[in-house]
Amino acid sequence: MFDQYTFPNGLRVVGERLTHVRSCTVGVWVKVGSMNEAPQENGLSHFIEHMVFKGTQTRTARDIAEEMDEVGGQLNAFTSKDCTCYYAKVIDEDLRLAVDILSDLALRPRFDDGELQKERGVILEEIAMVEDTPEDLVGEALSEAQFEGSLMRPILGTEERIRAYTRDDLLRYWQQHYRPQSTVVAIAGNYDWDAFLALVTEYFGAFPEQTGAAADSGPQALVSGRRSREKDTEQLQISLGYPGVALGSDDVYALSVFNNALGGGMSSRLFQRIREELGMAYSVYTYPVSYPGVGTFTIYAGTSPENGETVLREIQAEVRKALAEGFTDKEFISAKAQLKGGFVLGLESSSGRMQAIGRSTLLLNRLTLPEDTLAKIEAVTMEDVLRVGRMALDATPSAAIVGKNAEHYLRMIGG
């Protein structure tokens, strides 16, 4: 069962005890990501995630690193389209230190101007890495082609915006979004709930309440746009985008089974046809993503330009076949077993469980027991899979191509 508590200021705390482990993973989840940014704010969520590690009101960047290393713990963070998370994994006896440091990062960042100038350079290098990673670059291009709204913009921001931000910009954005009612503290592992609540009260009790409302992400619309990016690379990067399932819908389970059968694993149709039978791609796969209010389903392949036309034809042929004929019973059973197996294996990690309960509480304000999730997977029928899969693939796809003669290949993609 889950432990849950909401403080009077709106800060939510959630936990899941795993008595068979000695570790604890604690995460501080904030409902702010690139989809919450206005165009002139693009990249600020991620910039702040970097800057909090550069020093707080009580710790230097070196202090933060050394204190966690001294107990053999792990400290990290990430920014996504819909949230930011700071997390630490420690032995259960070092839980106080984890809560202490995480509260320092979330509540008391210094935003030192000198450190900001240095970290600006780090983020510009990170943006440059995307330019040198064609698989990431085609993903960014697909977002531009697929969305109208803030989801079209990159998490890292643009070079122009990152060069322009000042300390005041970061501080204003942090004050607007880092508020107790937009934050969840999640824990999974071996802990005592009352003792953990006491730690949260002690270290998060001074959480400043901000006035006004946090900015809404605004409307998000899926469109069937196209983007090509001419780039002198050895491989052609192909990405097709279809509608998916919004976060919180039970159809995510049916779409996940469909995904496994079409391109989510080594036995999937696309992998077997394009990689194993034709030998025309090392990497070919599909994946669904769910956001609040909207979802996507993506097909990706990386291949040599001389095989680009064949790979595109084969992808589209497999899509048409799935739409017309569906899947065999064997494919359905295997895809469903993959989904159940992956979920059960994830239960064995305190990090995985913290991620699941933290994100669900933050974005959906609800939790699902593991046995209930397994029951929902088990309840998925072939009819559900075909219904949801056809809902996705019947749509005109958005598309992005990165590589040599990219525009030529983009014209091959039909509706």
Distance CA 132, CA 30 (A): 30
Residue 165 tokens read as 């931000």
Selected catalytic residue, list 16, 37, 41, 49: 49
Contact assessment for residue 82 and residue 33, using Cβ atoms and an 8 Å cutoff: yes
148 is catalytic: no
Kind plus residue range of the DSSP H or E element containing 253? helix 251-259
b/e sequence 223-248, b meaning 16+ C-beta within 10 Å: eebbbbbebebebbbbbbbbbbbebb
CA distances from 173 to 36, 40, 91, 95, 391 (A): 11, 11, 34, 30, 38
Q: E strands along 82-195, which residues? A: 84-91, 147-148, 183-189
Rounded CA separation 69/102 (Å): 14
Active-site residue numbers?
Answer: 49
